[in-house]
Structure 1
Amino acid sequence: MVGNLGNLETFNVSFNFLKGPIPSSLGNLTKLSYLYLFQNNLSGLIPPSLGNLSSLRIMYLYMNELSGRIPNELGNLKSLERILVGHNRLVGSISASFGDLRKLRILDVHENLLSGSVPPEIGKLELLIQLALSHNGFSGQIPVSLGNLSKLEQFFVNDNLFNGFIPKELGNLSLLVELLLVTNRFNGPIPDSLGNLRNLEQFVLHDNRLSGYFPETISKCGKLRYLTLSNNSLVGRIPPSVCNLRSLEILDLGNNRFSGPLLQCLGNFSHKLKVLDLRSNRFHGNVPETFVKRNNNLESLNLNGNRLEGSIPTSLINCRNLEVLDLGNNMLTGKFPFWIDTLPELQVLVLRGNKLDGTLDGSTTRFPFPKLRIVDLSSNEFTGRLPSNYFENFIAMMAIDGRASGPHYMGGNLTMYQHTLELVVKGMRLELERILVVYTTVDLSVNKFEGEIPDTIGKLSSLRFLNLSHNGLTGEIPALVRNLTVLESLDLSSNKIVGRIPLQLTSLTFLAVVNFSQNRLRGAIPQGGQFNTFANASYQGNDGLCGFPLTNKCGDDEVRVSPTPEETDDSSFFNGFSWESVALGYGVGMLIGSGIGCLMFYSGRPRWVIRITEREQSRHQKKIKNESRDYGICGHKSF
């Protein structure tokens, strides 16, 4: 068949779900200029015979299942302009013969299993506009010869094992628009020469081992949109010249060793700014008070883990697009800023680990926090009762997310940035590199809250993590907690909670961690469901509790197992009745029944009345027996 196609110039079978190897006979199509085999299920090796296609200009083999090495013979394709073999399973290294492809404009081998060093000969490709080596296992240093690629616009070497210094010669790439060096092992300082890249829009260096100071020359890159230097070891102060980057959309300097006061200009230097992430540094002073109302597009502000003082600035109310506000683990003081609950897009609010005080019941907003999914106010000095009005209005925590098309993360529209958040999940402190929208959390632990847990907590049907521990809460555990059907972690430890553990909590099938320790609970621990998996530590410090898994055994009449539907129905019927009303009703029934019995004995008929009376009497006795199992010893209903 190939013999009849000798004059073919274009061969395109992309998007056809083809399987099997690429036929080596394709190498006989000597007039072929365009070869498109991308997005199939092709496997096996790239045939060395493709090196015979002397007229080939474009080779698209990406998104298949090809394996083996990239043939050295491809270095013979002197007319080749584009070679894309990404998204395969290729191994080995890039041949130095690729340096002979002087017409090459795109070299894309990303997302394979390639390794070894990059041959310096690549620096001879003077027409190259895109070099994509990302998501492989390349190692060694970036060849300084790549500084000769004067027409290069996109340089992607992220997610490899490159090390050593970033070559200062990269500052010669005057047309460079995107520079992605993220997730490697680069060390040393960021070269000042990179400030020569006046067309640069993406400067992404996070997750390396870089040291030294913030490169002040970067402020000359006036077109810069994304600047991410997080997760390195950079030190010193942020120069004020950074506020000259008027086109900046993302400024991510988190998890370094930057110090000094925060620049006030960071609140208003770029109306395009969407992300300001300065977490886990050593900044001190006040949070910027200059967040402007006009053209404010800020979506995420993360200042967690610094040494910031003062109050939360009211100018944040101008950030109407704000989705994430994380000011946790600082030294902020003052009252809870109730105006925050008017922010219409806010989904994450973290104020943990500060010195905030006062109550949470002063809001006058009619529908506060309409989209809030995560609220962490733990480790402060808040007092008063729990915010029942907020629990009534956390709408985003009330509807079960029924989407089943895979995980959904916050900030899905952001490029070059992933929201990072530290949460206490199931008793462990975790840093989430991406925030799932289902991570609905309420953490009000380690404060000075008092009073009972409000029933309105039962409205948060999609809540997954609830932590109210280490407060002064009293009263009983609300039975309506059973409505939190996807709850995975419940921590009520170190309070003054009394009564029994509601039997209905055994219906929470997702519950993986509970902690009721250090309270004043009593009675039998419910048996059944997830409660059969919890250890002693979940109940310690409650002298009145008994039953598995504690060594303190209960009497036979105190063992409490999962309720049946019938028991639940009977319980709802008697809800709100005291023992006295039940006994009175039973006594009146017995008196009437005795009168009817005497009449039947005297008359001897009718028999059907006797049968009805017997059935009614038996049913009442059964109800009272069931009810006695559900009531506590003090006459309070156990839910």
Structure 2
Amino acid sequence: MGLLIFLFILTSSSITTFASKPEANALLTWKTSLVNRNNPLLSSWALAPDYNLTGTINRNTSATLCTWYGVHCDARGNVEKLNLTASRLNGTLNHFTFSSFSSLTHLELNTNNILGSIPVEVRYLTKLVFLDLSGNQFSGEIPKEIGMLTGLKTLLLDDNKLSGYIPQELGNLGNLVKMNMSVNFLKGPIPSSLGNMTKLTELYLFQNNLSGLIPPEIGNLGSLKILNLDFNDLSGSIPPSLGNLSSLTVLYTYRNKLLGRIPKELGNMKSLTVFGIGHNQLSGSIPASLGNLTKLKQLDVHENLISGVIPPEFGKLESLIQLSFSHNKFSGQIPVSVGNLSTLEQLYLNDNQFDGFLPKELGNLNSLVEMILVKNRLNGSIPDSLGNLLKLEEFLLHDNQFSGYLPETISKCEKLKYLTLSNNSMTGPVPKSVCTLRSLQILDLGNNGFSGPVLQCFGNFSHELIVLDLRLNSFHGTVPPMLLNQNNNLRSLNLNGNRLQGSIPGTLINCRKLEVVDLGNNMLSGGFPHWLEALPMLQVLVLRGNKLNGTLQTSNTKTPFPNLRILDLSSNEFTGLLPSKYFKNFKAMTGIDRKASGAQYMGGNVSMYEDTIELVVKGLKLELERILVIYTAIDLSVNKFQGEIPHTIERLTSLRFLNLSHNSLTGQIPNNLRNIELLESLDLSSNKLVGEIPLPLASLNFLAVVNFSQNQLQGAIPPGGQFNTFGNNSFQGNKGLCGFPLTKSCGDDEVPFSQIPKGDEDDDSDFLNGFTWESVAIGYGFGMLFGLVIGWLIFYTGKPRWVIRITEREQSRLGRRSRKRTSKRSQLSQISNASFSS
């Protein structure tokens, strides 16, 4: 009965027997202080052989102290070991009488729920050799009195809530073999006195708040085999004295703030098998002496500032399984000697400055499973020899300067799951043999010079395929008929920027998990693919720049596009009225999860690939390499839509970008556009709209870009709010408009301040404080380019503020209130207003 731990329901004679032992009294006292979480009326400690669930006991028991659960006695009947591991103990050690256990050598209370501090009375356990209090809720400081237990060989205090400093007195534990204080809240420096523990073989201090230098005295621990200092705030350089640790097999210093060079002396640690110093600020070149670590299986220095070349001596690391130099400043060529690493399974050289050709000798890496070389300057052709990597699953070469053809031999890598070659300069047709790679999950060939017909066999891939990205190439032919059954996993289909013709195949309806469909900038014809309305997970639909025609008013789906966030049908030949039913039913645009924290991107569960789409805002082509889930946009511009803007558009309350420009829309601008409170970009230019610009639009606090130009609008431009930040280009081509920023004055017809929407009163602190980081979602949605262009920067307080230039209004026109607002805003007007032309 492992869950029944020390509930003493004892006979009078038994109690008398137990009471004759000081240890029994001490245990009984502690027992009464403990609480069973499942039943507060019971203690959490049981007499294992004799207790039953009815609450009675066997009165004929001859049980003694040494038969109690977890209690082990020596030959004289004294308690020698107390092992209550994972016994659901709830309480503290405040009532544990340490002085009663003069013979105790092992105290194991790990994996319980013991609270409070570690009592200083632990010093009475003078014979203790094994102390394990890990996996509890201990808090407070580590008592320095533990340093008095000079016979201690194992000290385990990990996975608690201990704080404060590591006591210098622990250096007195000269017999200690293993010490683990990881996963706590310890702070301050690592005591130099730990260098006195010459018998120590394992030292774990990871995941604390330790700071300061790694003490050079650690180099005195000649018996040390494992040193783990991960996830702290350690700074300074790695002490060369660590090279004295000839027995060390594992060295981890991940996620600290270590500086300087990697000491060449570390090449003396001939027993080292794992060397992990990633996520620091180490610089300089990597020492060639590390090539002497012939037992090394893992060499990981990623996320540092290391520069220079990979020494050819690294070809001697014939036991290496993982080599990770990613996210550094390495340069030069990948040495031919890397091809000698016959046991290598993972090669990570991404995000560096490597150049030159890819050595054909890499084809000798018969054990290789992952090769990630992305974001370098590698050039030349991909060697045919890489087809020999029969165990290869991940082959990522995107964002380099590779040229030439994709080798036919790649089809021999039958286990290949990820093949990404985007953003290179590769040419020629894609070999048909690629279609034999039945394990492919991601095929990304985007932004190259590939030509020839799109392989129709792409539509016959197995159900494993998640991403098919062929964008920005010179493929011709038709969109492959996706004949996958409805159990397929296709999530993203991107064929944008090719020369595809014909209609959009109806077989896409089989891809029920599609989230992104981008067929823009081709020569596709036919009507709007209404069957896509039924795809339950579709979030992005881009069909811009084709020859599609017809109306959007024939939908029969009750709730079309339930998860659509981005709809771009611009630059086609669509006619008829705007799709009011869509505006009414786009559920993903009618609300936003304001409780969501942090930036969340689409495709977060798909590794090795980021969705990329191209949108146009005010004439600028902007490429989104990552798509925020809060990003919502509708672009129906450059078509032949007629009629009025439907009032159902007000339901799209989480819409951020709306472009209806370059159509033949008539009627007035709806007042209810003000209900789209998150709107950041509004383009209604080049239509036939009449009437006034609705005054309530001035209350849209997030509005960064507007364009009402080339219509038939009249009346005063609404004053105040974001309208104070827009230039002439936003309003030109409307002969009847007047007021700021136009030079044409409205005279007596100017809107009085009593009609200015609420929120544009004197208090300009509201005007500025209304901005939150939510308002710069466009900044990281469009990337740094758009964030700079549309103009909000971070000033002294860290708040995002509009970067504007406000032309001073005539003080006689606007009165004292206007002068107050203008004065405040002029303090921010250091950078000129950037206007975009359509």
TM-score range, shorter chain: 0.7 to 0.9
* 1:67 partnered with 2:259: yes
* 1:344 partnered with 2:536: yes
Distance 1:338 1:469 in 2: 23
The alpha carbon displacement at 1:289 in A equals 1.2
- The DSSP-based 3-state class of the residue aligned with 1:151 is coil
The alpha carbon displacement at 1:552 in A equals 1.3
What are the equivalent positions in structure 2 for 1:4-153 lying under 5 Å apart? Answer: 4-153=196-345
The alpha carbon displacement at 1:167 in A equals 0.3
Distance 2:472 2:402 in 1: 16
Pick aligned residue for 2:449 from 254, 257, 267: 257
Tell me: CA distance 1:3–1:245, structure 2 relative to 1, closer, same or farther (3 Å): closer
Paired residue type of 1:232 = N
| Contact 1:212/1:233 (<8 A) preserved | yes
Distance 2:482 2:668 in 1: 46
Distance 2:351 2:757 in 1: 55
Distance 1:3 1:488 in 2: 60
Paired residue type of 2:641 = F
The alpha carbon displacement at 1:94 in A equals 1.1
Deviations 1:235-259 (A, max 9, x none): 1111111011000000000000111
- The DSSP-based 3-state class of the residue aligned with 1:366 is coil
Match of 1:600 in 2: none
Match of 1:491 in 2: 683
What are the equivalent positions in structure 2 for 1:64-463 lying under 5 Å apart? Answer: 64-463=256-655
Distance 1:396 1:333 in 2: 28
Cα RMSD (Å)? 1.4
- The DSSP-based 3-state class of the residue aligned with 1:317 is helix
Distance 2:419 2:491 in 1: 16
- Between the two structures, name the one with larger relative contact order (CA 8 Å, sep ≥ 6): 1
Deviations 1:352-388 (A, max 9, x none): 0000000000000000000000000000000000000
The alpha carbon displacement at 1:20 in A equals 0.9
Q: Percent identity?
A: 69
| Contact 1:518/1:542 (<8 A) preserved | yes
The alpha carbon displacement at 1:295 in A equals 2.8
TM-score (norm 2): 0.67
The alpha carbon displacement at 1:124 in A equals 0.2
Deviations 1:380-407 (A, max 9, x none): 0000000000000111111133145211
- The DSSP-based 3-state class of the residue aligned with 1:392 is helix
Deviations 1:494-530 (A, max 9, x none): 0000000000001101101110001010111110100
TM-score (norm 1): 0.88
Tell me: CA distance 1:50–1:43, structure 2 relative to 1, closer, same or farther (3 Å): same
The alpha carbon displacement at 1:17 in A equals 1.3
Match of 1:623 in 2: none
Paired residues, number:
568
The alpha carbon displacement at 1:188 in A equals 0.4
Deviations 1:585-629 (A, max 9, x none): xxxxxxxxxxxxxxxxxxxxxxxxxxxxxxxxxxxxxxxxxxxxx
Distance 2:213 2:514 in 1: 51
The alpha carbon displacement at 1:269 in A equals 1.7
Paired residue type of 2:292 = D
Paired residue type of 2:423 = N
Match of 1:619 in 2: none
Pick aligned residue for 1:544 from 724, 728, 736: 736
Match of 2:112 in 1: none
Tell me: CA distance 1:561–1:436, structure 2 relative to 1, closer, same or farther (3 Å): farther
Match of 1:524 in 2: 716
Paired residue type of 2:693 = I
Gaps of 5+ in 2: 1-170, 172-193, 761-838
Tell me: CA distance 1:3–1:288, structure 2 relative to 1, closer, same or farther (3 Å): closer
Distance 1:561 1:397 in 2: 34
Distance 2:484 2:207 in 1: 49
Deviations 1:401-457 (A, max 9, x none): 314521111110111100001011354210111111122000000000000000011
Paired residue type of 2:374 = V
Paired residue type of 1:139 = S
Distance 2:464 2:596 in 1: 34
Distance 2:482 2:513 in 1: 16
Distance 2:754 2:368 in 1: 66
Paired residue type of 2:351 = D
Gaps of 5+ in 1: 569-639
